[in-house]
Amino acid sequence: MGLQLGDAAPNFTAKTSQGEINFYDYLGDSWGVLFSHPADFTPVCTTELGRTAALKGEFEKRNVKALALSVDDVDSHKSWINDINETQNVNVDFPIIADEDRKIAEMYDMIHPKASATFTVRSLFIIAPDKTIKLMITYPASTGRNFNEVLRVIDSLQLTANYSVATPADWKDGEDVIIVPAVKNEDIPAKFPKGHTEIKPYLRTTPQPNK
C-alpha cells in the first residue's frame, strides 16, 4: 500500500536546480507543496511551473514552500527555467528536483505504469509543518493542475488545523464554515462567539472564525 493521508512525508536529499537540498530542512517550519511533472520542455508543465512562480506571493502569505520534481537532470531544469521565465513572464525561484534515478518518484508513488512506465504523472502533495501528508491529488499528463484549488485547499487545511470546523463544498476563504459534530451545542457560544445557524442538528454553520 502506498502513502496515505496522515503518513509522514518521506524525507530525502536531492540535487535540484538550486543545489542539493534536504527536503525536511528545506521546509523547516513551513507548509510544503511537492509536485511532479512528466518532463522538462513540455507545454503543460511550462504553464504549471510558470503559474507556481506567479503565485509566489500567495504561497508566502500562507507560509508555503513549493518544490517541483521530474526525472530530468539539473542542466535540463536550468535550461528549461529560462524558457518558463521567458514565456510565462515570471521568475522561477523555487527548486526543481532532478530525480534521474526515480527514487523519490517511487517513494511518493509518482510513476503510474499504466499511464507511463518511465515518466512521473502530475502528483501533488500538501505537507504540514509536522511533515505529515495532508492532501494528495493526481492528474493525468494531459491535464494541467488548478492552482486556485491548491490555494483553496491550503486555506481550508490551515483553518481546520486550528479551529473545530470543516469547510463545505466550493468553500472559499472568508465564507461560512461548518462546526464539526464533535462540538456540543452548549459549547458553541464559547468556541464561536460570532454566532451560528443550525440547519440540521448535524449541520451547523458559523462565520469563519479567523476573519
C-alpha to C-alpha distance for 156 and 195, rounded to whole angstroms: 20
Cβ atoms of 37 and 49 closer than 8 Å: yes
Given the DSSP bridges, would you call strands 19-22 and 203-206 parallel, antiparallel or unpaired?
Answer: unpaired
Task: Check: CB of residue 105 under 8 Å from CB of residue 120.
Answer: yes
Nearest to 28 by CA among 2, 54, 67, 70: 67
Burial of 126 (0-12, 13-18, 19+ CB in 10 A): buried
d(CA 181, CA 203): 8
- Beta bridge mates, 55: none
Of 45, 96, 111, 178, the catalytic one is 45
Q: Establish whether 210 is a catalytic residue.
A: no
Active site residues: 45
